[in-house]
């Protein structure tokens, strides 16, 4: 698997945050400027003032930045779920209007935009709710995904891909 690289600004280890249950390989790098072809950088900044200043100052060519306070994620521009969904749909011959996508994080906005119906869970961040066609009244913990599949796919009897 590819690694997720991260840098600590206050000595706190974010290793468990990404590896717990995800099985991702992580490496701590003090000198992140010299990492070649990273999949993702995560920067942990617990102080609000420093966080806002760093987020505003970060501008890297062909890299997208995402807010997930107190973390900042830096990801290559084409490495997002929406791009992957469009490729899979093309290979499988599935039309956009047949696809339902569900998310809760700001990083899911492209995923929702790449589907015929984009659904945000109740616990989604406001930025994602703004991207969604539908905002559910149920969260992850309230079986929101199962509810969405039943309501928008199974109940209507239509062919859809989630």
- How far apart are alpha carbons 59 and 114 in whole angstroms? 25
- How far apart are alpha carbons 154 and 1 in whole angstroms? 35
**Structure letter (DSSP) for residue 154:** I
> Over its length of 162 residues, how does the chain's per-residue pLDDT go in tens digits?
445 444 444 434 444 444 443 444 555 556 656 655 556 677 778 888 888 888 888 777 777 787 777 888 777 777 778 888 888 888 888 999 999 999 998 889 989 999 999 999 999 989 899 999 999 999 988 999 999 988 888 866 566 666
Q: Is the pTM of this model over 0.95?
A: no
Partner residues linked to 28 by β-bridges = 6
Residue 30, token pair as written in the block? 């003090």
CA 142 to chain centre: 20
Residue 19: what are its φ and ψ, rounded to 5°?
-90, -25
- How far apart are alpha carbons 51 and 49 in whole angstroms? 5
């Amino acid at each position: 698997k590819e690694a997720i690289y991260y840098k600590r600004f206050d000595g706190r280890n974010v290793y468990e945050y990404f590896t717990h249950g995800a099985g991702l390989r992580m490496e701590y790098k003090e000198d992140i400027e010299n990492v070649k072809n990273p999949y993702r950088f995560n920067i942990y900044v617990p102080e609000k003032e420093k966080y806002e200043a760093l987020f505003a100052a970060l501008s890297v060519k062909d890299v997208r930045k995402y807010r997930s306070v107190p973390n900042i994620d830096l990801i290559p521009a084409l490495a997002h779920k929406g791009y992957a969904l469009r490729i899979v749909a093309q290979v499988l011959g599935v039309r956009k209007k047949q696809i339902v996508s569900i998310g809760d994080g700001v990083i899911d906005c492209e995923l929702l935009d790449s589907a015929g119906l984009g659904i945000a869970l109740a616990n989604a961040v406001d930025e994602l709710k703004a991207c969604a066609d539908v905002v559910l009244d149920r969260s992850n913990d309230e079986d929101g995904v199962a509810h969405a599949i039943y309501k928008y796919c199974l109940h209507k009897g239509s062919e859809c891909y989630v």
